[in-house]
Structure 1
Amino acid sequence: MRICVYAGSNPGTNPAYGEAAERFGRLLAERGIGLVYGGGRTGLMGRISDAVLAAGGTVTGIIPQFLMDKEVGHMGVQDLRVVGSMHERKALMAELSDGFVALPGGIGTLEEIFEVWTWAQLGRHDKPCGLLNAAGFYDGLAGFLDHVAGEQFMKPKHRSMLVVEESGEAILDAFAEYQPPVVEKWLDKGRT
């Protein structure tokens, strides 16, 4: 089993974010779950990959060539794959993973978790998606998503597809029990 983790390439202002990344990395290794991530050595990406490695776990990094050219790739991971574009990176990360977790991060982190969550909503995969809400980082976003569902721009069953938990243990426990809702394959029926 492998979990894809999206995370900031910066550490953020709160030390709790880095601590959560390290705890989650150790937890993945302890449970025998491999890490798939963006291949960087800086910020929370570096912290989680270093923690997995230090705990004896396996790490697969996927990084586009233009970021390798900027020397931000983590050369210490067992499996660092260099791809041609961000699109290739995201597709390969999704293919190799059994679930997706976003740690604190910026617009890239949000874009990545929202994309795989959207794919789940559309029935393109049935893998769990979650936000690791370290130090309440995602409180505002979770509240906004509840508002979106309350305003009927999203079905409650689709909102429930994104797990929000404060600890890595709670995220992995929720993933272990995850039952994806039945998703109408309306796109496959020719309706637009």
Structure 2
Amino acid sequence: MKNIAVYCGASTGNDEIYTLGAQKLGQWIVRNNYGLTYGGGRYGLMGVVANSVLSANGFVHGIITQELAGRELSHAKLSKLDIVSDMSARKQAMLTDSVANIALPGGPGTLEEISEAFSWTIIGDSKNPCVFYNINHYYDDLESFFDAMTKHGFMEKETRKTLLFSDSLTEIGQFIKSYTPPKLRNYNKYPPNFIYSIVSQLIINSLI
């Protein structure tokens, strides 16, 4: 079974719409024949999306760190639970175990994990599509910031198109199925023929 990695908060936020969105995502995962890979917790939206998948008889793979498991934060009724050494190992394991990455609303940890996943696609270390499930316009400001990265030359336009912000699970599903990883960035500002012509001209000038 192919799994979707979901990153989300250990809180449910202050509006029921986020809980409802996490439940819908869990149902969508099962309905589309995916399993869930997530951080293994039982609280917040993490617990909501896991319970949603489990309630629909879906497969849930939790990956949690030793520290968090030791604080009794892990979900007790998952299909599979792996305990890893630290956050770096957890992030790597979640990427390896999934075919796509979706971020529900969350805090700094959620943002850090999905951002790292996307950065790995940019450098070619991952081929998973990355999506911000933009419930209640939660990620609107972040979407504008990524657009600003492109505007100011810190991200290529074609790369920006490979990151989706959407509140539509239908659109998210289509994006995952049709996804093509971004091309590796060309750090050479000038084409080889241009550089060759400049060097040749410098040589000629030195002989005159």
TM-score, structure 2 normalization: 0.87
Residue by residue, what CA displacement relative to the aligned partner does 1:58-112 show, whole Å, maximum 9, x if unpaired? 0000000110111110011010111111111111111101010000000000000
How is 1:12-51 mapped onto 2 (pairs within 5 angstroms)? 12-51=13-52
In the alignment, structure 2 segments of 5+ residues that lack a partner are 188-208
Matched, 1:64 2:78: no
Residue aligning to 2:100: 99
- Max Rg structure: 2
Please identify runs of 4+ aligned residues in structure 1 that moved more than 2 A.
none
Highest RCO, 1 vs 2 (Cα 8 Å, sep ≥ 6): 1
Please state whether the residue corresponding to 1:115 is helix, strand or coil: helix
| C-alpha distance in 1 between matches for 2:181 and 2:90 | 25
User: Which residue number in structure 1 is paired with residue 170 of structure 2?
Assistant: 169
d(CA) in 2 for partners of 1:123, 1:29 = 29
- Seen in structure 2, the aligned counterparts of structure 1 residues 148 and 184 have a Cα distance that, compared at 3 Å, is closer
Which sits farther off after the overlay, 42-51 or 165-174? 165-174
* Rounded Cα–Cα distance in structure 1 between residues aligned with 2:77 and 2:104: 21
Distance 1:97 1:185, change over 3 A: farther
Task: Among all aligned residue pairs of Structure 1 and Structure 2, give the percentage whose two residues are the same amino acid.
Answer: 37
Q: Give the conservation status (yes or no) of the 8 Å contact 1:35–1:49.
A: yes
Quick one: distance in 2 between partners of 1:185 and 1:92?
A: 29
Give the unaligned 5+ runs of structure 1: 187-192
Structure 1 partner of 2:149: 148
| TM-score after normalising by structure 1 | 0.94
Q: How many residues align?
A: 186
RMSD over aligned CA atoms reads 1.1
| Conservation of the 8 A alpha-carbon contact between 1:59 and 1:79 | yes
